[in-house]
């Protein structure tokens, strides 16, 4: 349980600092209950479509819900477990699987005397999934990265296409719209607003004003300009593409260059789709590998939290609640302008800094003292 502020229970607060009493009560009463549900959004699986037929409507419904729950479980564990360990994933018994479900939302339900159709959203219990994977000895990650906006520029036959139709490279990136991932990606719509915000030349030129404008439109901070250049080997019709990936965000810029060669039977569109699948899969797997939870290594860090008002704490607390690395937060000291908190977390401080950055939090160390604050301009918690 979070500890209260030392010496704060009998203090009479000045009018300018009365909010701090509510702040303390909010932490003591809310944070203790909220932390066990941290990162619960990662454990929600949406868009499961079920369709089952049986002897009667009741049996069809039971069959559909059981199958949908198992499909959702598989999507969840594949989301948080590295691909190399997918073959080792546990296959729980129906009763055990049902016990892992926190809630089940059913939409678009349709029935006939022998058939049942619906769309499901399954919310799993984090602690139950964690325990299952830990017993199986399978490492996993729960931290989701900040969403990144994909701006796909296609260079072919001397033309540079972005919003133009057809743009087969942008079409290949459509897979990210429904991707089940800890590395969420957003594909720009390509409507008239996007056309007015940035051009292909501005995107590949790294025009930060234009990139910031389209990022703001989609509520993200990071933009990945993915430029694919199509070429054919001399004397053949075998396609190849050179891909330049440039990521722009609060932490700076980064560039990756990759190449993909087709074969005799592969069409250009198939090659583009294969390249996108490889790029996206690589991003997802690297992220999981770098953010595996280290349950066997628990640490404690004391940090000062500057506070101007109660809303500062509310925004910060919401982000802490969604950070799976955080096990508990305790108040060590409390004043009108700041709080000193103890963060109990899994892993080391370096990984915690990166994980909290995905939540719009800045954890920094100067001279052995840590400070935790909201990053200016961080998007609101969804």
Burial class from Cβ neighbours inside 10 Å (0-12, 13-18, 19+) for residue 132 reads buried
Burial class from Cβ neighbours inside 10 Å (0-12, 13-18, 19+) for residue 102 reads middle
Most confident by average pLDDT, 24-28, 72-76, 229-233, 321-325? 72-76
Three-state SS at 179: coil
Q: Reduced to 3 DSSP states, what percent helix, strand and coil does the chain have, rounded to the nearest 5? A: 40, 30, 30
In whole angstroms, how far apart are CA 278 and each of 55, 81, 318, 320, 344? 44, 17, 34, 32, 37
pLDDT at 227: 97
Q: Which two tokens stand for residue 278?
A: 């490889």
Q: What are phi and psi of 305, to 5 degrees?
A: -115, 105
pLDDT at 265: 87
pLDDT in tens, 128-147: 999 999 999 999 999 889 89
* Contact call for residues 335 and 350 (beta carbons, < 8 A): no
Nearest by Cα to 183 from 335, 290, 320, 48: 290
Q: Which domains does the chain have, with CATH numbers?
A: 15-39+294-374 (no CATH), 41-135 (3.10.28), 148-290 (3.40.50.10070)
Of 3-17, 207-221, 336-350, the one with minimum mean pLDDT is 3-17
pLDDT at 382: 59
Rounded to the nearest angstrom, the gap between the alpha carbon of residue 109 and the centroid of all alpha carbons in its chain is: 29
What is the average pLDDT score of the chain?
86
pLDDT higher than threshold 70 for residue 215: yes
Query: DSSP assignment, residue 267?
Result: -
pLDDT higher than threshold 80 for residue 28: no
Distance separating alpha carbons of residues 168 and 211, to the nearest angstrom: 22
pTM comes to 0.74
Contacts 24+ apart (CB under 8 A), 161-168: 161/200, 162/190, 162/198, 162/199, 162/200, 162/203, 163/190, 163/194, 163/195, 163/200, 168/268, 168/269, 168/272
Neighbours of 233 (CB within 10 A): 11
Q: Give first-to-last CA distance, the chain, whole Å.
A: 26
Stretch 54-65: mean pLDDT: 96
Stretch 30-47: mean pLDDT: 59
Distance separating alpha carbons of residues 47 and 180, to the nearest angstrom: 10
- Residue ranges in 291-361 assigned as alpha helix (H): 310-321, 349-357
pLDDT in tens, 161-195: 999 989 999 999 999 998 889 999 999 999 999 99
pLDDT in tens, 231-279: 987 777 889 999 999 999 987 899 999 999 998 889 999 999 999 999 9
Distance separating alpha carbons of residues 44 and 46, to the nearest angstrom: 6
């Amino acid at each position: 349980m979070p500890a209260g502020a030392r010496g704060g229970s009998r203090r009479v607060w000045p009018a300018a600092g009365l909010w701090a009493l509510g702040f303390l009560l909010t932490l003591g009463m809310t944070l203790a209950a909220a932390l066990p549900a941290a990162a619960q959004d990662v454990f929600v699986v949406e868009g499961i479509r079920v369709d089952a037929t049986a002897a009667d409507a009741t049996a069809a419904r039971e069959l559909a819900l059981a199958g949908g729950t198992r499909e959702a479980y598989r999507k969840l564990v594949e989301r948080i477990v590295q691909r190399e360990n997918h073959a080792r994933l546990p296959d729980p018994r129906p009763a055990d699987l049902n016990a892992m479900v926190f809630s089940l939302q059913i939409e678009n339900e349709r029935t006939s005397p022998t058939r049942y159709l619906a769309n499901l959203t399954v919310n799993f219990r984090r602690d139950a999934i964690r325990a299952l994977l830990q017993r199986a000895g399978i490492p996993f990650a729960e931290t989701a990265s900040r969403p990144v906006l994909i701006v796909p520029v296609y260079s072919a036959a001397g033309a540079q296409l972005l919003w133009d139709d057809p743009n087969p490279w942008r079409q290949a990136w459509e897979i990210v719209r429904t991707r089940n991932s800890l590395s969420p990606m957003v594909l720009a719509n390509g409507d008239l607003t996007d056309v007015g915000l940035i051009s292909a030349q501005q995107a590949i030129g790294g025009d930060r004003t234009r990139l910031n404008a389209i990022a703001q439109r989609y509520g993200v901070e990071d933009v990945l300009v993915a430029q694919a250049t199509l070429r054919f080997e001399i004397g053949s019709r075998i396609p190849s593409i050179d891909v330049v990936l440039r990521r722009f965000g609060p932490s700076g810029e980064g560039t990756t260059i990759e190449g993909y060669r087709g074969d005799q039977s592969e069409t250009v569109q198939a090659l583009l789709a294969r390249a996108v699948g490889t790029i996206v899969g690589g991003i997802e797997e690297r992220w999981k590998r770098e953010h595996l939870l280290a349950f066997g290594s628990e640490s404690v860090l004391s940090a000062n939290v500057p506070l101007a008002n109660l809303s500062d704490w509310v925004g910060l607390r919401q982000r802490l609640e969604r950070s799976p690395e955080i096990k508990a937060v305790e108040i060590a000291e409390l004043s009108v302008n700041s709080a000193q908190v103890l963060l109990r977390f899994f892993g080391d401080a370096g990984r915690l800094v990166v994980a909290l950055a995905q939540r719009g939090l800045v954890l920094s160390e100067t001279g052995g003292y840590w400070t935790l604050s909201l990053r200016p301009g961080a998007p609101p918690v969804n």
